[in-house]
Amino acid sequence: MAKVVSSGNENAATADRVLARLRLAAIVESSLDAIVAKDLNGIVTDWNAAAEAMLGYKAEEIIGRPITTIIPPERHDEEATILDRVRRGERLVVFETIRRHKNGRIVPVALTISPIRDDAGRIIGVSKIGRDLTEHREQQRQLAELQAELIHVSRINDMAHMVSALAHEINQPLTAITNYANGLRRMLSAGRTQGVEQALERVAEQATRAREIIQRLRNLMQKGKTEQRPEDMRETIEEAAALSRAAAPASEPPALQVQVDDDAATGVIDRIQIQQVLLNLMRNAAEAMQDVSAPRLSVRAQRDGDMIRVSVVDTGPGLPEDVRARLFQPFVTTKATGMGVGLSVCRTIIEAHGGEIGAEDASGGGTVFRFTVPAADASQHPRC
């Protein structure tokens, strides 16, 4: 009978396979992810230390038992589906589900599921790599709470901005109403009736204006559409100047000069809103010039491509350098008692018109505020 002698190469190959399996076993055991194997009947065959830490069962407690031991009853159908797909050779990558800890706690997990094949390529079992999502879910929950809180704070800030802006803007017509009412009281006390009807009409106009300001500012804050139509720029500016004088204190208002170039006569604007911008700029200019002798204020509208550029120039002391860069941000003010919302509202209005607003030092001293609005015949004068 012939004697069979194993070659040294076969022994070396066998030793290499044994070493490879030992290395693989060491990797599996030291993995931070749970690694579990089961046969095609769903019986656990392998269970590493990370699986024990995640689900509470020691290897000797779970090996030989069905994998459904760690699956909530309502998810048992899921296990049958997984086995069917693995038998077909499919690999399930990052499959999120839940498992049940030995103490009954539900553990959210992300699974990677692959078929196990023998040396002949036949599928003989299933491997699962599981990652505990508890910490990840907690981070997501905390992030969601933070985002909700940020949204809440943002809404509160928006509400505060809107309330402050409303108070700021309707103060002008309310002050005008007060001035007209005081004038009426003096007229009636003196027994004069001439001009009473006209004064009452002015009171009604300012009350209507206050209502329009509230409605349009609310639409503006809610990103609603502005009512823009062709309007006479000179009339718009002069009406704003008249309203500014009506709402001004008893002190002498600054001398005012209005200049509107012929090609800037008609703008596509929301008249009420642009007058609010002009009123804010005129009032700020008048307050800045309170200590200036012979204060002067000029307003000019001139063409700038397909836009009209309106400049409001005062002869006051100019803007502090530290305020200039933040001038149009909400709640930034140079006034001891100001709320700092007027210029922020101005910017919102002008941007809703597709324009820009800014401020700089005037060449002869003082400050010039400039803003742009669309010209009525913009199609005939394309912007360069």
**Is the domain of 192 the same as that of 340?**
yes
Domain shared by 77 and 28, yes or no: yes
Closest by CA to 170, choosing from 230, 210, 115, 130, is 210
Rounded-to-10 torsion of CA 255, 258, 259, 264:
160
Is 241 among the domain residues? yes
CATH classification at residue 120: 3.30.450.20
Hey, what are 138's tokens? Answer: 């907690």
pLDDT digits (tens, 9 = 90+) for 73-128: 999 988 888 889 889 888 887 778 999 999 999 999 999 898 998 888 899 999 99
Tell me, yes or no, whether 68 and 117 share the same domain: yes
Percentage, residues of the chain above pLDDT 70:
73
Give me the pLDDT at residue 266, please: 96
282 assigned to some structural domain = yes
Is residue 336 very low, low, confident or very high in pLDDT (cuts 50, 70, 90)? Answer: very low
In this structure, are 158 and 199 located in the same domain? yes
User: In the prediction, which pLDDT does 193 show?
Assistant: 77
Residue 52: inside a domain, yes or no? yes
Domain closes at, from 86, 103, 132: 132
> Does residue 1 lie within any of the structural domains?
no
Is residue 140 in a domain? no
Average pLDDT over residues 228-246: 86
Residue 202's pLDDT is: 80
31 and 88 together in one domain = yes
Q: Give phi and psi for 99, each to the nearest 5.
A: -130, 165
Residues 101 and 246 in one domain: no
> Residue 26: how many CB atoms within 10 A of its CB?
10
Res 323 pLDDT > 70 = no
Q: Do residue 39 and residue 156 come from a single domain? A: no
Q: How confident is the model at residue 168 (pLDDT cuts 50, 70, 90)?
A: low
Same domain? 162 vs 237: yes
Q: Which of 136, 116, 129 is nearest to 51 (CA)?
A: 129
Query: 260 and 171, same structural domain?
Result: yes
Residue 77 lies in a domain: yes
Nearest to 82 by CA among 124, 133, 40, 131: 40
Give the CATH number of the domain where residue 215 resides. 3.30.565.10
**Would you say residue 319 has pLDDT above 90?**
no
Residue 123 lies in domain: 24-132
The three-state DSSP-derived secondary structure of the chain is CCCCCCCHHHHHHHHHHHHHHHHHHHHHHHCCCEEEEEECCCEEEEECHHHHHHHCCCHHHHCCCEHHHHCCHHHHHHHHHHHHHHHCCCCEEEEEEEEECCCCCEEEEEEEEEEEECCCCCEEEEEEEEEECHHHHHHHHHHHHHHHHHHHHHHHHHHHHHHHHHHHHHHHHHHHHHHHHHHHHHHHHCCCCCCHHHHHHHHHHHHHHHHHHHHHHHHHHCCCCCCCEEEEHHHHHHHHHHHHHHHCCCCCCCEEEEEECHHHCEEEECHHHHHHHHHHHHHHHHHHCCCCCCCEEEEEEEEECCEEEEEEEECCCCCCHHHHCCCCCCCCCCCCCCCCCHHHHHHHHHHHCCCCEEEEECCCCCEEEEEEEEECCHHHCCCC
Q: How many domains does the chain have?
A: 2
Are 54 and 202 part of one and the same domain? Answer: no
49/98 same-domain check: yes
User: 340-375 pLDDT, tens per residue?
Assistant: 456 877 888 898 899 999 988 888 788 999 999 999
Residue 139 counted as domain residue: no
Last residue of a domain, one of 76, 101, 132: 132
How far is the C-alpha of 350 from the C-alpha of 195, rounded, in Å? 37
> pLDDT tens digits, residue range 20-69?
565 655 566 667 789 999 999 999 999 999 999 999 999 999 999 999 99
Residue 306 lies in a domain: yes
Question: Using 50, 70 and 90 to split pLDDT, how confident is the model at 191?
Answer: confident
Q: How many CB atoms lie within 10 A of CB 131?
A: 17
Residues 217 and 362 in one domain: yes
pTM, whole model, 2 decimals? 0.45
Domain boundary residue among 85, 101, 132?
A: 132
